Amino acid sequence: MLEAAKERLEEARIAMARGDTQQAIAELGAALEIEPSIDAYLIRAEAHFSTGNVDEALADVDKAEELYDADPKSSSILWERIDDARSRYTLAKNPDPGPPIKQRISVMLPIQLSDPADLFIRINKRRELQSDGKTLLRKHGTVIYDMEILDRNPVWAESIIELTRGTRANFHAEFVYNHTQFFHLQAPNAEFVQATRNQYDVASQLLHTLDPLMRAVNAPVALMRNSNQVNACEEIFNCASEETPANLCAAFCKIYNDEHNACLFTVGMHALGYADAQIPYEIMPMEIAQDVLYEFHEFQCVALTWNIGETMQFNSKITNQTYLLNLYHCGRFETPGEARFNQFGLWIFESVIG
């Protein structure tokens, strides 16, 4: 009987080699009826996996492990095969989604493109970048970006002018009024398994991708859609050349004045993997609150993470005072998937301690 099982197992190997997985599965089933073995179960698991039947593959791995546990003389090499198979099949069944936040950025193109291919030629001339026309890759990074060219949108133009009023030079406003197209990026690309899992690392790589990209297309501004923060090309270049938590926060995060609720709050920290923050004017005046918000966000980037409902104390070096903060659900942008929704919550400065 043992010899018959070996013959069936050999037939299964031959069938697998020529790509006939169904025949291999049938031969392995016959072999296992004659003589159950770890090898046969693992080969059949691989055959099931190759046809997309992950549950059957995992079931065979379980049976292989049962045989392994029942035989004290089983070799460590067999265990390594069992462990490797389970890891691969489990990952295929429950793929790691990568960083939880989709970052959306629009780079303004100052000139009309007669042929989109011209843009990709300019991008591929940069030693740091590579594009196939649908995706963008920073050659020394691990994040792949979906990309598309969007035609001029006058509503966006008016919105950007309003968002940057008083904070940008007049020539930036002229660029916005007269722009013709946006080069739109989304990261990370969901079709690829990303080596980068950390949201902060994705943001860092994006900053270093934007630098050569904006240089390649002579882009005057980039719009961070996670916060509606508008960055001039000079700001992106400066942040990329001296990347610090403070510069990364400033690039992705925007501060808003809520006159109705008498507070200053931020939007965009979720692009880095952190909660936003809000300071009521009763705690401190607006002109000081802005600096303290950025100080607090920089602190978040180098400290531990928290869960919604928790409380913390923060000592500001700017005001030389300690504040009590509570972490709440995002109260302004409540729709998951919406660009400005922050699933990490909102810190609110509640009071001064001492």
**What pLDDT digit, counting tens, does each position of 281-319 carry?**
999 999 899 999 999 999 999 887 788 889 999 999 999
In this predicted structure, what is the pLDDT of residue 142? 83
Question: Mean of the pLDDT values across residues 45-52?
Answer: 86
Q: Residues 317, 186: one domain?
A: no
Percent of the chain with pLDDT over 70: 89
Q: Give the domain-ending residue among 38, 68, 93.
A: 93
Burial 37-58, CB ≥16 within 10 A → b, else e: bbebbbbbbbbbbeeebbebbb
Tell me the β-bridge partners of 316: 321
Q: What is the mean pLDDT of residues 123-137?
A: 89
Note the pLDDT of residue 349.
97
Q: Model confidence over 171-184: pLDDT tens digits?
A: 566 666 666 677 88
Residue 170 has pLDDT above 70, yes or no: no
59 and 135 housed in the same domain: no
Sorting pLDDT into bands at 50, 70 and 90, what band is 1?
low
Residue 135 scores a pLDDT above 70:
yes
Do 269 and 239 belong together in one domain?
Answer: no
pLDDT over threshold 70, residue 96: no
pLDDT at 168: 55
| Residue 47 sits in the same domain as residue 83 | yes
Looking at residue 173, its pLDDT comes to 62
Q: How confident is the model at residue 191 (pLDDT cuts 50, 70, 90)?
A: confident
**CA-to-CA separations, 255 to 123, 199, 266, 305, 308, in angstroms, rounded:** 32, 20, 4, 21, 21
331 is a domain residue = yes
Rounded-to-10 torsion of CA 318, 324, 327, 328: -110
Please indicate, yes or no, whether residues 295 and 178 belong to a single structural domain of this protein.
no
Average confidence (pLDDT) over 36-54: 87
pLDDT (0 to 100) of residue 284: 93
Report the range out of 6-15, 23-32, 117-126, 267-276 with the highest average pLDDT: 267-276
Fill in the amino acid letter for 20. D
Domain count of the chain? 3
Answer yes or no: do 116 and 220 share one domain: yes
Mean pLDDT is lowest, of 127-136, 191-200, 267-276, for 191-200
Which pLDDT score is estimated for 162?
59
- The predicted-structure confidence for 227-246, as pLDDT tens digits, reads as follows 888 888 888 999 889 889 99
How far out from the chain centre does Cα 179 lie?
29
Query: CA-to-CA distance for 212 and 297, rounded, in angstroms?
Result: 27
14 Rama sector, left if φ>0, alpha if ψ -120 to 50, beta otherwise: alpha
**Do 231 and 107 belong to one domain?**
yes
CATH of the domain at 88: 1.25.40.10
Q: Is it the case that residue 152 has pLDDT exceeding 80?
A: no
User: Would you say residue 160 has pLDDT above 70?
Assistant: no
Which pTM does this prediction carry? 0.69
Residue 77 has pLDDT above 60, yes or no: yes
Q: Are residues 107 and 44 in the same domain?
A: no
Q: Residues 55-78: what's their mean pLDDT?
A: 87
Terminal-to-terminal C-alpha distance of the chain: 84
Output the pLDDT for position 83.
85
Measure CA 289 to chain center. 30
Please tell me which of 143-157, 160-174, 210-224 the model is most confident about, judged by mean pLDDT: 210-224
Min mean pLDDT across 132-146, 183-197, 320-334 is at 183-197
In this structure, are 161 and 81 located in the same domain? no
Q: What is the mean pLDDT of residues 192-217?
A: 86
- Amino acid 354: pLDDT: 66
Please indicate, yes or no, whether residues 239 and 181 belong to a single structural domain of this protein. Answer: yes
- Who wins on pLDDT, 151 or 105? 105
In this prediction, residue 197 carries a pLDDT of 73
Cα separation, 136 vs 208, in Å, equals 13
Residue 343: domain span: 253-353
Whether residues 158 and 73 fall in one domain: no
With respect to residue 98, please indicate whether it lies within any of the assigned structural domains: no
Residues 100-119: what's their mean pLDDT? Answer: 79
Stretch 200-223: mean pLDDT, rounded? 89
Helices (H), the chain: 2-17, 21-34, 38-50, 54-70, 76-93, 116-124, 154-163, 170-178, 199-217, 233-241, 245-252, 286-302
Q: Is residue 107 scored above 70 in pLDDT?
A: yes
**Same structural domain for residues 73 and 181?**
no
